[in-house]
Structure 1
Amino acid sequence: MRAQVSQLLTPFRYLKIEHTVKHKIDVVLPLIVGLLVSAIVLALGSSVSVFGDGGYVSLITDLLQIMTGFYVAALAAVATFPSPVLDQPLDGSPAMLVEMRKGVEKRIPLTRRRFLSLLFGHLALLSICIYFIGGFASLVSSGVAALLPEGARLCIRASFVIIYSVVSAHLLVVTMLGLYYLSYRIHRPPSGNQADHSPLPLDASRAGTHNDLKDN
């Protein structure tokens, strides 16, 4: 059973990718955006509907109905698109996937294709999870609110808004990273030189090399 659950959650292995700037994309920026949005929603109090029709959760779930299909389509395109550039490693500091194989921790360097496959697989599964969590929360919110005192309701409401906002912000920021690759970086060879399509070493340290994940 554990093995089957692990297989179903495989897209979340994106979170196990190690890179010098990835924590900023996965954690720092989503925290900033999520906490800012949460502060605005909570500061407006009852004037902002969180669980009702046309409310905060409803707006996000409506968007996710569209975005989930986009993530799956992008995953299919990346996995099947015949491009030698996609099969080359990322520039700059290598992105490494940490996996346990036969009880031994392995650090596997990623090509652009595998990195993008993990990224869009992660986004697809996460968007589905956010969609169902938001829908379930909206479904039971009225019943739960009727059973709890006002103080507990406000505490649960605030906790949900913060967690939901941060996770949704993570989805947004990682989506922007994926769009950067699909709209711009995917068309450039790792060297940044359009005429040079030869494979490069994982740790491209010579002058003029462009990083796929930039540390600005």
Structure 2
Amino acid sequence: MIMYQLLRPLAYMSIRDDSKWKIDILLPMLFSILATCTIYALPVAPVIFGKDGVIQLLMGLFQILPGFYLTALAAVATFNRPDMDNLLPDPAPTVEVSVRGRSTKIELTRRRMLSMLFGYLTFLSFGIYFVSLAAQIGAPSVVAMTPAWLLWYVRCAFSVGFGFLLWQMIFITLFGLYQLSDRMHQPD
């Protein structure tokens, strides 16, 4: 029960909708692979770790993002608009929730979907920050312990994985901004 509660922000990824996977999985994976290939194809690859590395430059952003996402979550949860509690248009996205210990499928309202979205983004931004911190601290040890022939593959795998999380956060944020700034003002 406690793990269900602690990991509930991840429920956003279990929302069932026909096109959501493109924003959540497809686009982030494509951009991550493209960015990684571009980085390693450059004549002088940018520094990823260390004092002036890409991760160090992004750490400031990762520190402020949870506050932004929590503010957006609070705003969505308290919007005083009745249409926020209407079901999303057909086919409405669905999600499985636990009600009195039993799994139940429910259709989503705009408020619930946006709450789940910004809850996930808050969780993801904390996660990316701690992955970045661990990477900054652990990179020298990983480099020292990894055979030279394997190091390039480790760097590529990290770049694709980290890039996927970063691009996923960007695309889901853009989708959330679309929902808040445009879609919620359109008639269903």
Match of 1:150 among 148, 151, 162: 148
- Distance in 2 (CA, whole Å) between partners of 1:98 and 1:41 is 39
62-71 or 172-181: bigger deviation = 62-71
- Matched letter for residue 144 of structure 2: A
TM-score, normalising length: structure 1: 0.81
- Give the superposition deviation at 1:168: 1.0
Name the structure with the higher helix share. Answer: 2
- Matched letter for residue 58 of structure 2: I
For structure 1, the residue ranges without an aligned partner over 5 or more in a row are 191-216
RMSD: 1.7
Deviations 1:156-177 (A, max 9, x none): 1111001110111111110000
Q: 1:160: which partner in 2?
A: 158
Aligned residue for 2:75, secondary structure, equals helix
Deviations 1:115-140 (A, max 9, x none): 00000000000110011011111111
- Give the superposition deviation at 1:35: 1.1
Larger C-alpha radius of gyration, 1 or 2?
Answer: 1
For structure 2, the residue ranges without an aligned partner over 5 or more in a row are none
Contact 1:98 1:108 in 2 (8 A): yes
Aligned residue for 1:39, secondary structure, equals helix
Identity of aligned residues (%): 37
- Distance in 2 (CA, whole Å) between partners of 1:54 and 1:181 is 36
Confirm whether residue 109 of structure 1 aligns to residue 78 of structure 2.
Answer: no
Match of 1:16 among 14, 18, 26: 14
Aligned residue for 2:36, secondary structure, equals helix
Q: 2:90: which partner in 1?
A: 92
Q: 1:133: which partner in 2?
A: 131
Match of 2:173 among 169, 172, 175: 175
TM-score, normalising length: structure 2: 0.92
